[in-house]
Chain A
Amino acid sequence: MRSWLALAVIAALVAALPLAGNNYALRLATTVCMYSVMAQSWNFIGGFAGYPSFATAAFFGLGAYASAILQNHGVPMVPAWAGAGLAALLFAAFLGGAILHLRGHYFAIASLIVVEMLREIVNTLPDFTGGGKGVNLPLLKLSVTGQAQFFFYAMLALAVLTVATTIVIHRSKLGFGLRCIQQNESAADIIGINTYAYKTAGFSLSAVFVGVAGAIYASWVNYIDPPDVFDVLISVKPMVMVLLGGLGTIFGPSIGAVILLLLEEAVWRNFLTIHVAALGAIIVVLVLFLPNGLLALIRERSPTKAMAK
Chain B
Amino acid sequence: MTALLTLDGVSRRFGGLKAVDDVSFDVNESEIVGLIGPNGSGKTTLINLITGVHPATAGHVHFDGHDITRQRPYRIARLGLARTFQIVQPFPRMTVVENVAAGALFCGHASDVREAQAIAREHLEFTGLADMADRPAATLTLARRKRLELAKSLAMRPRLLMLDEVNAGLNPTEIEEAVAIIRKIAEQGVTIIVIEHLMKVVLSISHRLVVLHHGQLIAQGTPRKVVADKRVIEAYLGAKYAAGNPGVSN
Touch between chains A and B, by CB atoms below 8 Å: yes
Pick from A171, A183, A193: contact of B113, CB below 8 A. A171
Residues of B within 8 Å of A187, CB to CB, are 85, 89-91
Q: How far is the CA of A35 from the CA of B147 in the complex (A)?
A: 44
A300 to chain B, nearest CB (A): 15
Stretch at the interface among B13-21, B104-112, B165-173, B187-195: B104-112
| A190 and B92 in contact, given A171-B113, A173-B112, A180-B102 (Cβ under 8 angstroms) | no
Mask of A189-210 contacts with B, CB within 8 angstroms, 1/0: 1111111000000000000000
CB distance from A72 to the nearest CB of B (A): 45
Q: Pick the contact of A189: B74, B91, B94 (CB < 8 A).
A: B74
Cβ of A172: which chain B residues have Cβ within 8 Å of it? 112-113
Is A23 located at the chain interface by the 8 A CB criterion?
Answer: no
Q: Is A179 an interface residue (CB 8 A)?
A: yes
Q: Which residues of A contact B103 (CB under 8 A)?
A: 191-192
Q: A172-B113, A190-B51 are in contact. Are A183 and B73 (CB under 8 A)?
A: no
A186 sits at the interface (CB 8 A): yes
Closest Cβ of chain A: how far from B148's Cβ, in Å?
12
| Cβ–Cβ contact A176 & B77, under 8 A | no
A190 x B53 contact (CB < 8 A): yes
With CB as the reference atom, state the residue of chain B lying closest to A193: B106
Q: How far is the CB of B55 from chain A (nearest CB, A)?
A: 13
The answer to whether B53 and A191 touch across the interface, beta carbons within 8 angstroms, is no
Query: Could you say which residues of chain B place their CB within 8 Å of the CB of A195?
Result: 74
Instruction: Give the shortest distance, in Å, between A250 (CB) and chain B (any CB).
Output: 15
Q: Does A184 contact B (CB under 8 A)?
A: yes
Q: Which of B82, B91, B152 has the most CB of A within 10 A?
A: B91
Q: Within the assembled complex, what's the spacing in Å between the Cα atoms of A169 and B105?
A: 15
User: CA–CA, A184 to B53, complex, Å?
Assistant: 14
Whether the Cβ atoms of B74 and A183 lie closer than 8 Å is no
B73 touches A190 (CB 8 A): yes
Central interface residue in B74, B85, B94, by most chain A CB within 10 Å:
B74
B166 to chain A, nearest CB (A): 15
Q: Does B93 contact A (CB under 8 A)?
A: yes
A177 CB within 8 Å of chain B: yes
Interface size class on chain B is 20 to 34
A195 to B106, CA, bound (A): 11
Tell me the A73-110 residues at the B interface (CB within 8 Å): none
A187 to B108, CA, bound (A): 17
Residues of B near A171 (CB, < 8 A) are 113
Q: In whole angstroms, what is the CA distance A179 to B93 when docked?
A: 9
Compute how far the CA of A194 lies from the CA of B74 in the bound complex, rounded to whole angstroms: 6
How many A-B contacts if CB must be within 8 Å?
A: 72
Known contacts: A183-B93, A190-B77. The answer to whether A176 contacts B51 by CB under 8 A is no
User: Main SS of chain A's interface residues?
Assistant: helix
Residues of B within 8 A of A173 (CB): 105-106, 112-113
B156 adjacent to chain A (CB < 8 Å): yes
| Complex: chain A residue closest to B111, CB-CB | A173
Interface centre among B53, B94, B152 (most CB of A within 10 A): B94
Chain A residue with Cβ nearest B103 = A191
Q: A189-B74, A190-B53 are in contact. Are A183 and B91 (CB under 8 A)?
A: yes
Given contacts A171-B113, A173-B113, contact A192 B106 (CB under 8 A): yes
| B231 in contact (CB, < 8 A) | no
- Please, how many angstroms separate the alpha-carbon atoms of A116 and B78 in the complex? 40
- Which A residues are in CB contact (< 8 Å) with B123? none
Complex Cα gap A197–B156 (Å): 20
| A184-B113 CB under 8 A given contacts A190-B73, A190-B77 | no
- Chain B residues in 8 Å Cβ range of A194: 72, 74
A105–B224 alpha-carbon span in the complex (Å) = 52
Q: Residues of B contacting A192 with CB < 8 Å?
A: 74, 77-78, 103, 106-108, 156
A190 contacts across to B, CB distance below 8 A: 51, 53, 73-74, 77, 82-83
Could you list 30 A-B pairs, sorted by A, with CB under 8 Å? Answer: A172-B112, A172-B113, A173-B105, A173-B106, A176-B101, A179-B91, A179-B94, A180-B91, A180-B94, A180-B106, A183-B92, A183-B94, A186-B89, A187-B85, A187-B90, A187-B91, A190-B73, A190-B74, A190-B82, A190-B83, A191-B82, A191-B102, A191-B103, A191-B107, A191-B152, A192-B74, A192-B103, A192-B106, A192-B156, A195-B74
> Which A residues are closer than 8 A to B by beta carbons?
171-173, 176-177, 179-180, 183-184, 186-195
- Residues of chain B having any CB pair with chain A under 8 Å: 51, 53, 72-74, 77-78, 82-83, 85, 89-94, 98, 101-103, 105-108, 112-113, 152, 156
Besides A176-B113, A189-B77, 6 other A-B contacts (C-beta < 8 A): A173-B112, A184-B89, A190-B82, A191-B156, A192-B74, A192-B156
